[in-house]
Structures are given as C-alpha cells and as structure tokens.
Amino acid sequence: MPECVDLTAKELARDVCSGMTDFELTEKYCLTQREFHLALRVLINLGLVTRKQLEERQQLSDSQIIRAFVEAEAEEV
C-alpha cells in the first residue's frame, strides 16, 4: 500500500492541474471517490481550480481512454 501524503488544497490543486489521473490522486492522498469529489468541490469553492479546468481534464482523460481502445483494437487486427 502506498504511503499517503497529507492533503493541502494548494498541493492537490497543483496535482490536479498537472495532469495526474483520478486514480493517482486518490492513491497519493488516500481518498475514497466520495472524498475526492468533495475535495474537488472545495478546490472550486476556494478558487484554486475552475469547473472549466476540471471539465477539460475529464475530456483529456476520456480522449486517452478512447485512444487506448483504438490502439488495442489496431494491435488485434
């Protein structure tokens, strides 16, 4: 089990904006999915990230997932 890092809003915001995945963030900070989503709301309320940044981050994650499926299908052919 990875060693957890104490959670600070500024560090979490930096990690969110750096491109870390939800899985990486929840592992690093030992958060449940519920706690993670609550923390994201806190970051928005504090003005450390915007909803648009989170939406763009999600779109990027979705794009990476789609690309991984396409690449996997191409390897099978």
Q: Please report, in tens digits, the pLDDT of each residue of the chain (77 residues total).
A: 557 778 899 999 999 999 888 888 999 999 998 999 999 999 999 999 999 988 888 765 655 666 666 667 777 66
Q: Which residue has the tokens 């396409």?
A: 70
Which burial class, exposed, middle or buried, applies to 27 when counting CB atoms under 10 A from its CB (0-12, 13-18, 19+)? middle
| pLDDT value at residue 74 | 73
Q: Which pLDDT belongs to residue 63?
A: 57
- Give me the pLDDT at residue 65, please: 61
Q: How far is C-alpha 49 from the chain's CA centre?
A: 12
pLDDT confidence of residue 22: 87
For residue 2, the tally of other CB atoms under 10 A from its CB is 8
Question: In angstroms, how far is CA 45 from the centroid of its own chain?
Answer: 17
Is the pTM for the entire model greater than 0.85? no
